[in-house]
């Protein structure tokens, strides 16, 4: 498999980290970070990712400040979670939650472009996928920057287990339409909720993220989509 060099659009570091956060990052990240195997054709050995066996492995792409990921790992004690986020302030935010909750041993962090990680995950290895409020890039000339495209969706289809759930949210109507169309074209995902009239509401086991709060405060109603990976 040819390693794809990707460009992450958006922020990695918006300002200097506060000394406490910098120290936390230096102390806690090395043990949790996923480094891709040097052989560009090799996949990650998921059996060696966590110190203790886990029942299922979930993935969150673009976890932002980490509050949703921290909630899921707290609420699902038998599950391991991989979080992808290139934004350093966000990674420090997640680490703070994990330290407070004592859940770091079931989380691994990929601090780079999620698409580099997707290429190195084995087929049918992920039991649930979260992509919440990924950057909408509303201007037409920026649409090619959107995370959701045919290539990313076929990577999702490959890594998800049969029957696995793919959760997606956005507050941008254009990105909602784009995603509904792209996912429908892919043909291996089925919508869990029927869309007729009102959009589906956020399920109770899906806590509000900081981005959702901001969207609501600015008068934008988010849309929550749940798909199932159709059995192979």
Ligand X SMILES: C[S@@+](CC[C@H](N)C(=O)[O-])C[C@H]1O[C@@H](n2cnc3c(N)ncnc32)[C@H](O)[C@@H]1O
Q: Is 203 in the site for ligand X (CB under 6 A)?
A: no
Q: Which two tokens stand for residue 161?
A: 């287990």
Residues 83-112 within binding reach of ligand X (CB under 6 A): 84-87, 90
Instruction: Give the N- to C-terminal CA distance of the chain in Å, as an integer.
Output: 22
Residue of 135, 162, 198, 205 marked catalytic:
135
**215-218, long-range: CB within 8 Å, 24+ apart, which pairs?**
215/133, 215/171
119 is catalytic: no
Q: Is 114 in the site for ligand X (CB under 6 A)?
A: yes
Contacting residue, 3, 4, 10, 150, with ligand X by CB under 6 A:
10
| Residue count, binding to ligand X (CB under 6 A) | 23
Residue placing its CB nearer to ligand X in the complex, 54 or 60: 60
Q: Is 113 in the site for ligand X (CB under 6 A)?
A: yes
Residues 48-77 within binding reach of ligand X (CB under 6 A): 61-64
Buried-state track 171-208, b at ≥16 Cβ within 10 A, e below 16? bbeebbebbeebbeebebbeeeeeeeeeeeebeeebee
**How far is 65 from 81, CA to CA, in rounded Å?**
15
Each residue 148-187 as x (binds ligand X by CB under 6 A) or -, in order, gives: ----------------------------------------
How far, CA to CA in Å, does 169 sit from each of 37, 61, 96, 163, 227?
31, 12, 24, 19, 11
**How far is 186 from 126, CA to CA, in rounded Å?**
18
Q: Which stretch binds ligand X (CB under 6 A): 44-52, 97-105, 130-138, 182-190?
A: 130-138
Q: Is 227 in the site for ligand X (CB under 6 A)?
A: no
Q: Which residues are catalytic?
A: 135
Residues that bind ligand X (CB under 6 A): 8, 10, 61-64, 84-87, 90, 113-115, 132-135, 147, 209-212
């Amino acid at each position: 498999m040819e390693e794809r060099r990707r460009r992450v659009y958006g922020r990695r570091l918006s300002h200097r980290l506060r000394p406490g956060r910098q120290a936390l990052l230096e102390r806690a990240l090395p043990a949790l970070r996923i480094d891709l195997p040097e052989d560009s054709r090799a996949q990650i050995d998921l059996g060696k990712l966590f110190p203790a066996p886990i029942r299922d492995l979930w993935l969150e792409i673009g976890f932002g400040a980490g509050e949703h990921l921290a909630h899921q790992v707290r609420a699902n004690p038998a599950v391991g979670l991989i979080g992808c986020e290139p934004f350093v302030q966000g990674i420090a935010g997640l680490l703070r939650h994990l330290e407070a909750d004592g859940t770091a041993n079931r989380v691994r962090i990929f601090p780079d472009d999620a698409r580099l990680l997707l290429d190195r995950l084995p087929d049918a290895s992920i039991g649930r996928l979260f992509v919440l409020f990924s950057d909408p890039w509303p201007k037409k000339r920026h649409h090619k920057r959107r995370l959701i495209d045919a290539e990313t969706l076929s990577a999702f289809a490959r890594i998800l287990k049969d029957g696995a759930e793919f959760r997606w949210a956005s507050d941008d109507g254009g990105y909602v339409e784009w995603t509904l169309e792209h996912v429908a074209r892919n043909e291996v995902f089925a919508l869990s909720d029927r869309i007729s009239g009102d959009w589906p509401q956020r399920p109770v086991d899906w806590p509000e993220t900081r981005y959702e709060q901001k969207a609501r405060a600015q008068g934008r109603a988010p849309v929550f989509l749940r798909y199932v990976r159709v059995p192979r």
